[in-house]
Amino acid sequence: MPRSQAQAWSAAQCSMAAQQAPLELMAGPPAHTLDMNFQRLAYATFLIAACALSTGARAQKSLISQTAASSIVSTEQVRAELLAWAPDGVAPGKPVWLGLQLAHQPEWHTYWKNSGDSGLPTVLDWQLPSGVSAGEIAWPTPRKIPIGTLANYGYENTVLLPVQLRVGPDFKGAELQVKLKASWLVCRKECIPQDGDFSLSIPVKSSTAASSALFAATFAATPKALPAGNSQVEVSGQTIKVSLAGLPAALQGQRMAFFPETASVIEPAADWQQAWRGAVWTAQLPLSSQRTDSPAMLPIVVAVNNQAFRIEAPVKGLWPEVAQAPVMPAALTAALNANAEVAANRAGAKPSPPLGLLAALLGALLGGMVLNLMPCVFPVLAIKVVGFVQMKDRATRLATGLAYSAGVLLSFLALGALLLGLRAAGEQLGWGFQLQSPAVVATLAVLFTLIGLNLAGLFEFGNFLPSRMASMQARNPSINAFLSGVLATAIASPCTAPFMGASLGYAIALPALQALAIFGAIGVGMALPYLAASMLPAVARALPRPGAWMVTFKQLMAFPMFATVVWLVWVLGQQSGIDGAGALLALLVLLALTLWALTQRGRAHKALVTVSALLLALAMWALGPNVLKLQETATPAGQSADGWQSWTPGRVAQLADQGQSVFVDFTAAWCVTCQYNKKTTLANPAVLADIKTKNVALLRADWTRRDPAVTAALTQLGRSGVPVYVIYKPGRAPVVLAEILSVDELRAELARL
């Protein structure tokens, strides 16, 4: 289709679219202090919050001045963000890069420089200070997007369009002020033209490393230029014969994707032949019946797996005359409508309706209630409820319930506000982000070790507190209950529960007050069982009377805490490696030794305390860096023994281009639900047999540590936490499965492939 016709068709489609869119610790004698111990852990709890906040502060550390209003534009289809990378500051001869990142909602796409049968490429109009100029877009490798009987070249999921700036010697100023007017066409069944105004302020003498990984990944996906050498394109009748020489020898024998940079030269959707003749790759492609150009040089991009190359090949032979009769837009519209109807009527898979605010609030409330069943949260709730045995006064019980609920609710609101603030500042974060920091994981491991040792009876916090503080705590049980809620939230937040994943993903895109309402609903749901128990006298009457069983129960609850420590050490091992996990275990042993020494009496007491404290301090100095240091990420080494491959941006599209269905497991080591699903449903022999029968590729996206690419992929799926399970099949929309994955659900969806 000629470009003018594509523009006219896009405008008509857009017009139609516009018209249609209108812990509690137990310390002291159990007979009277079962529910009065978290005041003694106020300092430890404060450390958790401080670590989480410091993690957030580090995440915000970007020397590019940007706000949500100036650098981010969000629509229902696309989230566009202007990013910058100046590793050596802004100066003549130094690399300075800008880039527009487009994060598409599922099924939506924008276009490459040659959009194929229809569509328009993204246009960037820069406003730069004197002495600074912008180059052309360094277009990443596109993918072929079938549209009915036609095909486009473009981008789905997330793409960054980088542009290099040239800084001249006459540029002056302490900051580089950048303004951008961007226009893009985003399409699914309908096409919608969109635009946005962006601005950034880049300090001249500071580096901007926050976006370096994104730019590096984009550069890796950009075609590498190769000399023409003996490459050529020969025009013969209505066919062009392409011969490309100089490609890497490792590619020989592989089938490659073909993208001409010049529009309307070939038929993008037509079948074509390719072959290797020794070291030369050849292809025969039909000329477009609507060809509008007869170039002497034809820039060509070829791609296979994660590699792409660009060659400008000279054209030999005579181009036929340019066609005069274009394809009518109605024909294209009919093809699109037919394709959309087929996709919508596929067996057992219909697009889910958009999540509304009321549904999100209900899902968050139910998800918060389910959080109480998590292994590390349930002991907290159990101890709190058992504490009712000692509360004869109904008013005291109710006050305690309200205080606990307030602690949970305010903690969820604080975490939600922190997450929203960091996201608005341009950070790629999601729910459970605090567990992506080794400092927070290590702090929680220390706290749970203290809790377990206290419950087991090794020490009593009251022995280490001034008498005034101990008596004040006894008079204020509500403070203990409030801190119990804070602690319960800290350990529950990474465990995404059913009904909650969609709500959290929906909340991220809402205005702040509505988003905080959803986070608050999670808190209310989590606090609701305890609050109901505190308000219903029947619950207290149903509990056993006080007695020796309470001591046994207290000691028994130490073991879930120690199990939680084991899990946290394992999580840390995924982040800081075996050295980090070993160092943390050594520190925990020395911490237990120090606490034991503090409980001893006699002549050797002071010596034991001094030696153990010195050993602990020395170990913290020597081993502490190993705990906090992130281990280098290993390069994905293909398929593992169990069939899983590491997820990378664009990998799903590559497999889909080969006609293969894909199952993606978005997971994290600190996600309890993820590990449960991995050991049950995903290891089920019947499920594995179905996957093998259907030839489904298995990809695992690990979110244990911060990974902006994984965060962006989750955002595109309408999620902001893990677990998330998605099945992709060429020619249909992605199918997102439930967070608690059942064998029957997964097998039923696999049967539809």
Question: CATH no. for residue 176?
Answer: 2.60.40.1250
610 and 650 co-located in one domain = no
Q: In what order do the strands lie in the sheet with 143-147?
A: 110-116, 150-155, 143-147
Could you tell me the two tokens for 638? 């293909």
φ, ψ of residue 198 to 5 degrees: the values are: -125, 155
603 and 690 co-located in one domain = no
- 217 assigned to some structural domain: no
DSSP category for residue 236: E
Give the H/E segment covering residue 572.
helix 558-598
Helix, strand, or coil (residue 297)? strand
Q: CA of 389: how far to CAs of 259, 392, 397, 674, in Å?
A: 73, 7, 10, 36
364 and 495 co-located in one domain = yes
In whole angstroms, give the CA distance from residue 698 to residue 660: 11
At which of 249, 274, 305 does a domain end? 305
pLDDT of residue 365: 86
- Please give, one letter per residue, the 3-state secondary structure of 89-154: CCCCCCCEEEEEEEEECCCCEEEEEEEECCCCECEEEEECCCCEEEEEECCCCCEEEEECCEEEEE
Could you tell me the two tokens for 175? 């900051």
187 and 271 co-located in one domain = no
The number of residues making up the chain comes to 753
Could you tell me the two tokens for 172? 């002056």
Could you tell me the two tokens for 210? 């926050």
121 and 181 co-located in one domain = yes
153 and 241 co-located in one domain = no
Beta bridge partners of 281: 244, 276
- The CATH number assigned to the domain holding 687 equals 3.40.30.10
> Which structural domain range is residue 672 located in?
644-751
Q: Among 167, 165, 174, which residue's Cα sits nearest to residue 93?
A: 167
Could you tell me the two tokens for 352? 């889910």
Model pTM?
Answer: 0.47
- 513 assigned to some structural domain: yes
> What pairing do the DSSP bridges indicate for beta strands 697-702 and 644-646?
parallel
Helix residue ranges, H only, 425-557: 438-456, 467-475, 477-492, 500-508, 512-535, 537-542, 549-556
In whole angstroms, give the CA distance from residue 244 to residue 510: 50
Q: How many CB atoms lie within 10 A of CB 515?
A: 21
- 323 assigned to some structural domain: no
Q: Which residues of 495-507 are buried (b: 16+ CB within 10 A; e: fewer)?
A: bbbebbbbbbbbb
Taken in order 50, 439, 712, 372, the sign of the CA dihedral is: negative
At which of 156, 180, 198 does a domain end? 198
For residues 360, 362, 366, 367, the Cα torsion angle rounded to the nearest 10 degrees is 10
Q: Is 603 left (phi over 0), alpha (psi -120 to 50) or beta?
A: alpha
Q: CA of 167: how far to CAs of 129, 133, 752, in Å?
A: 10, 7, 55
Taken in order 340, 345, 350, 353, the sign of the CA dihedral is: positive
Beta bridge partners of 167: 132
Q: In sequence order, what E strands does 279-351 have?
A: 280-286, 297-304, 307-316
Number of separate domains in the chain: 4
- 522 assigned to some structural domain: yes
- 203 assigned to some structural domain: no
Helix, strand, or coil (residue 667)? strand
Residues of the chain with pLDDT under 70: 1-69, 148, 206-210, 290, 292, 321-356, 374-392, 423-434, 461-476, 491, 493-509, 539-541, 543-547, 632-642
By the 8 A CB rule, do 68 and 424 touch? Answer: yes
Residue with tokens 């959080």: 371
At which of 271, 289, 305 does a domain end? 305
pLDDT of residue 313: 86
- 447 assigned to some structural domain: yes
CA 457 to chain centre: 41
DSSP category for residue 258: E
In whole angstroms, give the CA distance from residue 342 to residue 344: 6
In whole angstroms, give the CA distance from residue 281 to residue 287: 19
290 and 401 co-located in one domain = no
> What pairing do the DSSP bridges indicate for beta strands 239-244 and 232-236?
antiparallel
By the 8 A CB rule, do 703 and 667 touch? Answer: yes
In whole angstroms, give the CA distance from residue 410 to residue 484: 12
Give the H/E segment covering residue 5.
helix 3-20
pLDDT of residue 567: 82
587 and 705 co-located in one domain = no
Contacts 24+ apart (CB under 8 A), 643-646: 643/688, 643/691, 643/698, 644/698, 644/699, 644/700, 645/697, 645/698, 645/699, 645/700, 646/699, 646/700, 646/702
Helix, strand, or coil (residue 65)? strand
258 and 161 co-located in one domain = no
Which amino acid is present at 343? A
624 and 521 co-located in one domain = yes
**For the packed helices 438-456 and 558-598, what is the interaxial angle rounded to 10 degrees?**
80
- 245 assigned to some structural domain: yes
358 and 399 co-located in one domain = yes
724 and 591 co-located in one domain = no
- Which residues does 261 contact at the CB level (< 8 Å), separation at least 6? 113, 114, 298, 299, 300, 301, 310
φ, ψ of residue 158 to 5 degrees: the values are: -125, 135
Rounded (to 5) percent helix, strand, coil in the chain = 45, 20, 35
Give the H/E segment covering residue 11.
helix 3-20
Q: How many CB atoms lie within 10 A of CB 351?
A: 12
- 279 assigned to some structural domain: yes
- Which residues does 404 contact at the CB level (< 8 Å), separation at least 6? 384, 481, 482, 484, 485, 527, 530, 531, 534
pLDDT of residue 393: 74
